[in-house]
Chain A
Amino acid sequence: MAEILNMVHELGEGLFGPLLWSLVWVVIKVVLLLAPVLFMVTYITLAERKVIGAMQVRPGPNRVGFFGVLQPLADAVKLIFKETILPEKADKSLFLLAPLLTLVPALLSWAVVPFSPELILADVNVGILYILAISSLGAYGIIISGWASNSRYAFLGSMRSVAQMVSYEVSMGFTLIPVILITGSLSLVDVVEQQKDWWNIIPLAPMFFIYFISVVAETNRSPFDLPEAEPELVAGFFTEYSAMSSGLFFMGEYANIVLVSFLGALVFLGGWLPPLSILDFIPGIIWLGLKAGFLMFVFLWIRATFPRYRYDQLMRLGWKVFLPVSLFWIFLTGLVLQLTRGIGGE
């Protein structure tokens, strides 16, 4: 592996010169990272329709390609070739900017997500903080889309959605703090490596469940999909969007689902570590994929199972249940660490 890398580097430096090559290499890495991510984003849409179809005892898409595998491509082609309608009274520039602002943060976060100890774009030492910071920007796309559409449904939907995201971001952030406390580092590689003996889900089981429910709310997914609430708000903040501009919102949503599933797998489920050390022969990246895939499956499973929450219930759950519980768990984790490790860590 390392030899191949060296060969590529030499070749590249020969072709472009050292300075330009370092830039080109970054671009190559970004492309190599984003291609599978976008692939997953595309195919989770198919998975969603298939899984929910199966749960509702119907086949789901099965016409385009064998078993429907070409369905996402067909959808993409359709979305791209349809006309993007600009509402007359919309704030045009912001209206077009908003979908991008939803999708881009979801993709930016991947820079610090490790697929194995080496396979990571940037192993910065504030990885978790970076993800939290970037994901807090996702709200802008939504609030801007609601406002720029100049439509009541869209505005109400975006208000709901942003209030919901801001609320659940708090508890999501707090569930990660015990993990940071245990690890003593903000780097995701360290977080995974530290789970060699115990996956974090064992000491922090309540935090894992709060994390998962919070991210379901954070991504505006059912049963917390009040921002869309099609019976009352038509489609919420993207009521006025059509064609690819609405497609970008969907891509942002699914990219976020994939992201938080990977993050959950890394932070609570041991990342690329196998559940038993005798299963070491299976490559770590497959383990990570399986764990993240399971979490994504749960997203779909929940959607097919639960009825939608009411808005006051949603807020109550976030502020009056998750927030105190996760704060208490932070306190408890700190206390236990203090008692077992003493002041100042190891």
Chain B
Amino acid sequence: MMVADVIFYLFATVTVLSALGVVGARNPVHSVLFLVLAFFSTAGLFVLMGAEFLAAILVMVYMGAVAILFLFVVMMLDVDFSMLRRESVRYLPMGFVVGAVMLAELGLMMAHHPGEGLHLGLDNTDNTLAIGQALYTRFLYPFEVASLILLVALIGAVALTHRERKRVHRQDISTQLARTKEDAVELRKVASGEGA
């Protein structure tokens, strides 16, 4: 029990500190990397709670894909972040207000369930199996609708940004394969000394 506690506090501390780092880092790339660290230690907390599936998905989806895209964007976009930062100071009071309201509401919700800890029911079951069974039975309908949402996002992204570039030569494998020797090569007998 004690070892688990130590590990919990370790991960929890890293999570909170790196979350602070996300907000506080001067360089946006460092911010994203702190975010990644926060994800990772949250995944560790998930494992401690016995939710190893969630942990693996968090690492795979958020660290392996989403945060990488964040990094891409932050590294490639030409945004003046110091400017942005100066602007954001103006919104700081508003941010504190929103944060305080949310905290108060969370407290209200906690007060509503005094002493009743969150029971995850993940103790000894194989939670990958449990999640799979819930998703494909009780929540099949929402699951499928969610997949349609992703499809629309995909269509939208392509439809709004994809352009046929006229000047680029595209490789068309089927035309390449359809080419025969007859189309491409012409054999001629040229008598020696008479060729142009």
Contact A137 B52 (CB under 8 A): no
Contact B56 A130 (CB under 8 A): yes
Q: List 5 A-B contacts (CB under 8 A).
A: A132-B60, A140-B63, A143-B75, A162-B68, A186-B128
Q: Which A positions have Cβ atoms within 8 angstroms of B?
A: 19, 91, 94, 124-126, 129-130, 132-134, 136-137, 139-140, 143-144, 147, 155, 159, 162, 166, 169, 186, 312-313, 316
B71 an interface residue at 8 Å Cβ cutoff?
A: yes
- Rounded to whole Å, the gap between the CB of A121 and the closest CB of chain B is 15
Contact A129 B56 (CB under 8 A): yes
B65 an interface residue at 8 Å Cβ cutoff?
A: yes
A260 to B79, CA, bound (A): 39
Contact A133 B68 (CB under 8 A): no
Q: Which B positions have Cβ atoms within 8 angstroms of A?
A: 3, 27, 29-30, 33, 36, 52-53, 55-57, 59-60, 63-65, 68, 71-72, 75-76, 126, 128, 171, 173
* In the complex with contacts A166-B68, A312-B171, A316-B171, A140-B36 CB distance below 8 A: yes
Contact B33 A136 (CB under 8 A): no
Of B52, B68, B128, the residue contacting A139 (CB under 8 A) is B68
Apart from the given pairs A125-B52, A133-B60, A144-B33, 17 other A-B contacts in the complex at a CB distance below 8 Å: A91-B29, A126-B53, A126-B128, A129-B52, A129-B53, A129-B56, A130-B52, A133-B56, A136-B60, A136-B64, A137-B59, A137-B63, A143-B71, A155-B75, A162-B72, A316-B171, A316-B173
With a cutoff of 8 Å between Cβ atoms, the chain B residues found around residue A132 in the complex are 56, 60
Q: Lowest 3 A-B CB distances belong to which pairs?
A: A136-B64, A133-B59, A129-B56
Kindly report which residue of chain B lies nearest to residue A173, judged by CB atoms.
B60
With a cutoff of 8 Å between Cβ atoms, the chain B residues found around residue A91 in the complex are 27, 29
Contact B52 A124 (CB under 8 A): yes
A159 to B68, CA, bound (A): 11
Kindly report which residue of chain B lies nearest to residue A148, judged by CB atoms.
B29
Contact A147 B29 (CB under 8 A): yes
Kindly report which residue of chain A lies nearest to residue B40, judged by CB atoms.
A137
- Rounded to whole Å, the gap between the CB of A127 and the closest CB of chain B is 10
A159 to B72, CA, bound (A): 8
- Rounded to whole Å, the gap between the CB of A187 and the closest CB of chain B is 10
A162 to B53, CA, bound (A): 25
With a cutoff of 8 Å between Cβ atoms, the chain B residues found around residue A19 in the complex are 3
- Rounded to whole Å, the gap between the CB of B46 and the closest CB of chain A is 11
